[in-house]
Chain A
Amino acid sequence: AQSVTQLGSHVSVSEGALVLLRCNYSSSVPPYLFWYVQYPNQGLQLLLKYTSAATLVKGINGFEAEFKKSETSFHLTKPSAHMSDAAEYFCAVGGNEKLTFGTGTRLTIIP
């Protein structure tokens, strides 16, 4: 069975600082990996996806993620945090026509 683990349920960074949200996956086959973002009282929105093409994936709002097979990781980064980045972020793995999500990381931006 495929799964993802998000390390850190809460992450706080200062405005302008680097954002790093961690995700590790478990999969017996090459995985399809995703990051979704959920703003307060809204549904989830796709940030970026890895589908076995380039290992460095760029998404919306300046976010990117790097697929590292040796580390079974797909961490999400952004060089400079903005107040509008405050949200909950979910890593997910795709398989059997459905997504399996991690438990989420709530990102707080400190002014």
Chain B
Amino acid sequence: GAGVSQSPSNKVTEKGKDVELRCDPISGHTALYWYRQSLGQGLEFLIYFQGNSAPDKSGLPSDRFSAERTGGSVSTLTIQRTQQEDSAVYLCASSKGGGTSSYEQYFGPGTRLTVT
């Protein structure tokens, strides 16, 4: 079946503009995760959804970042008033959720965001 897909694959935006990043998880996966991968920083957890609810949004770096998930499927990560330090690869992952299944995550190819 289809894996996790993300769009766009690349996004270049000017400082101060808003951007939306989209994630389509694997069908039937109830859990969805957003991570940020910056050069030399590894993967940084941003937010986790179980269904349409976000039990853990502790990794969102500021109130400029928000995310939603609708229909237990597609998720959108929105960054308002982008700054240069937001430049990174944003990765989405999904899992079957519940217990150790939460940790067997399937990743999308990522969206590379460049803020100029």
Contact = CB atoms under 8 A, between A and B. Distances in A.
Interface string A51-73: 10000000000000000000000
A94 B103 contact: yes
B42 A94 contact: no
A97 B91 CA distance: 17
B4 A94 contact: no
A83 interface: no
Contact of A101 (B4, B31, B40, B42): B42
Contacts of B107: 36, 43-45
Given A41-B109, A44-B91, A97 B50 contact: yes
Interface in A79-106: 90, 92, 94, 96-104
Interface residues of B, number: 26
Interface residues of A, number: 24
B105 A99 contact: yes
Interface in B68-116: 91, 93, 97, 100, 102-110
Given A97-B55, A98-B56, A49 B104 contact: yes
Contacts of B56: 96-98
B102 to A, nearest CB: 5
Contacts of B33: 98-99
B2 to A, nearest CB: 13
A105 B70 CA distance: 36
A46 interface: yes
A74 interface: no
Closest 4 CB pairs of A and B: A43-B107, A94-B103, A103-B42, A101-B43
Interface of B: 4, 31, 33, 35, 40-43, 45, 48, 50, 55-56, 91, 93, 97, 100, 102-110
